[in-house]
Amino acid sequence: MLTIYSDDHRLHHGKSELNDGELKPCFECPERADIILDAVTESKLGDVIAPDNFGLDPIRAVHNPGYVAFLEQAWNSWTATGRHGDALPLNWAIRGLRQIEPETIDGKLSYFSFDASTPITAGTWKAATSAANVALTGAANLLQGESCAFSLCRPPGHHAASDYFGGYCFLNNAAIATQYLLDHGATRVAVLDVDYHHGNGTQSIFYERSDVLFVSIHADPLQEYPFFLGHVDERGDGAGEGYTANFPLRWHSSAPKWFDALDAGLQLIADYAPDYVVISLGVDTYIDDPISQFRLETPDYLEVGSRIASLGLPMLFVLEGGYAVAEVGRNVSNVLVGAAAGN
């Protein structure tokens, strides 16, 4: 299995996120990627390569160009107002408020985001575009015949929609890779999101399309962030009707219950018969994750990988969440080891 990784991820190191009514140190930190890289290397899964640079076109194929331009300029616009700490938004256009892009940087931050947990720093743009390249390089290798690749993306991506950031995510790496596969020969791609949190960004990007099947297993949005997407009745719209499947599970759901949902999701993917499966790989389903409420344990992740591999499809694993820093490396590498063995 090929792993794609870039040191650029370290350029994004947010100071704090809004949580529990306080600004706390960001759970989504550079150490996560370093520890995962170490575990992958120790597991002797295969080569670790640097990403190629695909430019902005594949990013703009998924994200609104105005949003991409905003992200590129955000830090400069923020510091031009005399502020030098991380940029965070002020307020949000919920029901009844108008979706009109303001002129000022505080207004733009508010318009293009949906939470206050995703600071923009001096290095965010470079790190986020590099993470997109990490995902794209994985996709390109699948197109060239690799059966399995791991894009060690950081910052993560699945909460980022076409035109907003949030949930530690700026560019939707998995969606960008998926679109790239479709734009280079694939007819159908399945995205399987096993992160603890619903992949609201990915769902919304592909919600009205039938060339992507989006399947997500996640904490019930009635209980858990991101709260406002991921219900079972969200099944796609228009041409996309029937091509979104959500498996929300209650807090403290057991591992067997989680695996039942995985099996149901894998069956949907098998029935869809895609050319590729892109896995949004979060391991915040782990029992000791500091911000999550599921109960998977480290050996379970071998089984996660093995069951996904049983599809017999080319697989691109794209890193999402997982915040139990000490165990995040082993949990991720176990998924990959399980997938490689079953491949």
| Closer by beta carbon to a second copy, 130 or else 204 | 204
Write out the two tokens for 342: 């079953």
Give the contacts of 160 (CB within 8 A, at least 6 positions apart): 63, 166, 167, 169, 170, 171, 172, 201
Residue 100 is a binding residue for a second copy (CB under 8 A): yes
83 binds a second copy (CB under 8 A): yes
Residues 6+ apart with CB under 8 A from 97: none
214 touching a second copy, by CB under 8 A: no
> Pick from 29, 56, 73, 106: which binds a second copy (CB under 8 A)?
106
How many angstroms separate the Cα of 91 from the Cα of each of 64, 94, 97, 106, 129? 21, 9, 11, 9, 26
Taking CB under 8 A as the criterion, the residue among 25, 69, 187, 231 binding a second copy is 231
Q: Does residue 290 have a cis bond before it (omega within 30 degrees)?
A: no
State the angle between helix axes of 300-309 and 325-342 in degrees (0 to 180), rounded to the nearest 10.
40
Least Å distance, CB 341 to a second copy, is 38
Can you tell me which of 44, 47, 57, 103 binds a second copy, judged by CB under 8 A? 103
**111 lines the binding site for a second copy (CB under 8 A):** yes
Q: Which stretch binds a second copy (CB under 8 A): 132-140, 169-177, 218-226, 315-323?
A: 218-226
Are the C-beta atoms of 174 and 38 separated by less than 8 Å? no
Q: Which of 102, 290, 299, 312 binds a second copy (CB under 8 A)?
A: 102
Q: Is 107 in the site for a second copy (CB under 8 A)?
A: yes
Q: What whole-number distance in Å separates Cα of residue 7 and Cα of residue 128?
A: 12
Task: Show contacts with a second copy in window 7-36 (CB under 8 A).
Answer: 18-23
Q: Which stretch binds a second copy (CB under 8 A): 53-61, 95-103, 296-304, 329-337?
A: 95-103
**Contacting range for a second copy; rule: CB under 8 A; set: 51-59, 62-70, 109-117, 312-320:** 109-117
Site for a second copy (CB under 8 A): which residue of 104, 187, 254, 267?
A: 104
> Considering the rule CB under 8 A, would residue 165 count as an interface residue with a second copy?
no
Per the annotation, the verdict on 198 as an active-site residue is no
| Catalytic residue (one of 159, 197, 198, 218) | 159
Piece of the chain touching a second copy by CB under 8 A; list 116-124, 238-246, 253-261, 325-333: 116-124
Q: Return the half-sphere exposure (C-beta side, CA atoms, 13 A cut-off) of residue 219.
A: 22
Contact between residue 189 and residue 279 where contact means Cβ atoms under 8 Å apart:
no
Collapsed DSSP state (helix, strand, coil) of residue 273: coil
**Which residue lies nearer to a second copy by CB, 96 or 145?**
96
Q: Which residue has the tokens 């962030």?
A: 225
Pick the stretch among 31-39, 134-142, 228-236, 277-285 that binds a second copy (CB under 8 A): 228-236
Distances (CA, A) of 218 to 86, 101, 155, 245, 343: 29, 31, 20, 11, 25
Retrieve residue 140's tokens: 């390109």
Q: Which of residues 253-282 bind a second copy (CB under 8 A)?
A: none
> Which residue, chain included where needed, has tokens 């190629």?
52
278: helix, coil or strand? strand
Whole-angstrom distance, CA of residue 138 vs CA of residue 153: 10
Which of 30, 221, 240, 265 is close enough to bind a second copy by CB under 8 A? 221
For residue 102, cis peptide bond before it (omega within 30 degrees of 0): no
238 binds a second copy (CB under 8 A): no
Residue number with CB closer to a second copy (161 or 277): 161
Residues marked as catalytic: 159
Residues near a second copy, by CB under 8 A:
18-23, 78, 83, 85-88, 90-100, 102-104, 106-107, 110-111, 114-117, 119, 161, 164, 166-167, 200, 204, 221-229, 231, 234
